[in-house]
Amino acid sequence: MKGVILLVAEWSTECAEAKLEWRRLQEVFEFDYKEVDLESKEGQRLARRHCITTVPTLLINGEVAFTGCCCP
C-alpha cells in the first residue's frame, strides 16, 4: 500500500498517542493513512516482512520510516 501505515498494539500507551497524532496529521494533509494492529494477520505479516519488533512503527510507501513514539 502506498501512503502511511502505522503498526500499533492495543496494549501500548505510546501507540494510543501516536494514533491520535497521525489521525490529526491525516485530516490536515489528506494522505493515505491506515492503522494496522500488530496482532492481526496483516500486522504479523508486516512485522515479519520488515523485522519489526517495536510499536508503534511507521511505514511510508512500504518502507519503515520510524519506530517508537515521536509524541512530546
Residue 69 predicted with pLDDT over 70: no
Alpha-carbon gap, residue 57 to 65, rounded angstroms? 8
> Does 22 reside within a domain?
yes
Tell me, yes or no, whether 72 lies in a domain.
Answer: no
Q: How far apart are CA 39 and CA 41, in angstroms?
A: 7
Q: What is the pLDDT of residue 72?
A: 46
Residue 68 confidence (pLDDT): 79
Q: Is residue 13 part of a domain?
A: yes
**Domain membership of residue 45 as a residue range:** 4-67
Residue 56 lies inside a defined structural domain of this protein: yes
Cβ 38 vs Cβ 8: under 8 Å = yes
pLDDT digits (tens, 9 = 90+) for 21-63: 999 999 999 999 999 999 999 999 999 999 999 999 999 999 9
Residue 41 host element (H or E):
helix 41-50
Structural domain total, the chain = 1
Cis peptide, bond prior to residue 72, ω within 30 of zero: no
Closest CA to 52 of 68, 70, 33: 68
CATH number reported for the structural domain that contains residue 62 in this entry: 3.40.30.10
